[in-house]
Amino acid sequence: MADLLETSASSITHLPEKTGLQVKWSRLAVYAVLLGFAAAYLTPLVVVILNSVRSAQDIGQNGVINLPKTLELHNFVAAWGEFCIAQHCSGIRPYMLNSLMMAIPATILSTLLGAACGYSIALWRFRGDTWVFGVLTLGVFLPEQMKLVPWVLVLRELGLSNTIAGLVLVHVVQGISFATLFCRNYYVNIPQELMKAAKIDGAGYFRIFWRIVLPLSPPILIVTIIWQFTGIWNEYLYGVVFTSGENQPITAALIALAAGVSEAPQYGIQSAAVLLAAAPTLLVYLVGGKYFMRGLTAGAVK
């Protein structure tokens, strides 16, 4: 046995080591593969950006995938307020406003309600709290198609069919599951001593939440706000099913814009409209993106 162990140890110590040149070529191979994936992923975005500053004549003569001969910035002006979508020649401006009126209040309300639910489940333990948490988070895994008929019935009974307020209600309720999941996993790492000290000082449920828990919550609240705003803004199915005409959000309007141009497709204006529609979510990530991963992993290791 001793001879066997000695032989194994000697074989391990004599394993061939990679030279500096081999390590360099290995890294270059990894970088080449990553760059290839990045190029494949970013190619559609680059095509959209280039087409947004090309004229219809340029695209018709030289194809969709080509460099612009001249810069056509009027595409953005036309997409914003002149182009006709579903017989309404007002561009994407009213639909962008619809999305803002839907996404901002739905994000704020769902985040606050999710924070309150996560706080209750994590720091105010009660009988059956794990079951309540399981039922709440079940909404994360249910497909959206399962919820269409129930939501149609609810909105009809409340008189909110084909309204922005109806979409706000849908996204608030839908977003509570994600917000509760994020906040609960963050709040379980708050020391219980803070809670006990606050209770001894006479603080109640809501005072502890506003004075102690919320001031400790910016990392996870930023994550939840970015997640919720992006998901609500980019959501398409509910916008198409529950609204129509001038009450639709921007995602539904973009599909109507693409479908409404049959004889002479205006790829330049459509590309400009896509970039304008994506601007709010890009702005959110540019402003708060550096806090996203920091907040997402905060509290992951106790």
Domains of the chain (ranges; CATH) run: 93-261+274-297 (1.10.3720.10)
pLDDT score, position 12: 47
β-partners of residue 23 are: none
pTM: 0.82
Bridge partners of 221, per DSSP, are: none
Question: CA 2 to CA 288: how far, in whole Å?
Answer: 60
| Residue 88, strand partner residues | 85
What distance in Å separates the CA atoms of residue 5 and residue 253, rounded to the nearest whole number?
71
Residue by residue, pLDDT tens for the chain (302 residues) are 555 445 554 554 454 555 666 778 888 889 999 999 999 999 989 999 999 999 888 888 888 888 888 888 888 988 888 666 656 666 789 999 999 999 999 999 999 999 998 888 888 877 877 888 888 888 788 888 888 999 999 999 999 999 999 999 999 999 999 899 888 888 888 888 888 888 888 888 888 888 888 888 888 898 899 999 999 999 999 999 999 888 999 998 888 776 655 456 788 888 999 999 999 998 888 887 777 666 666 655 44
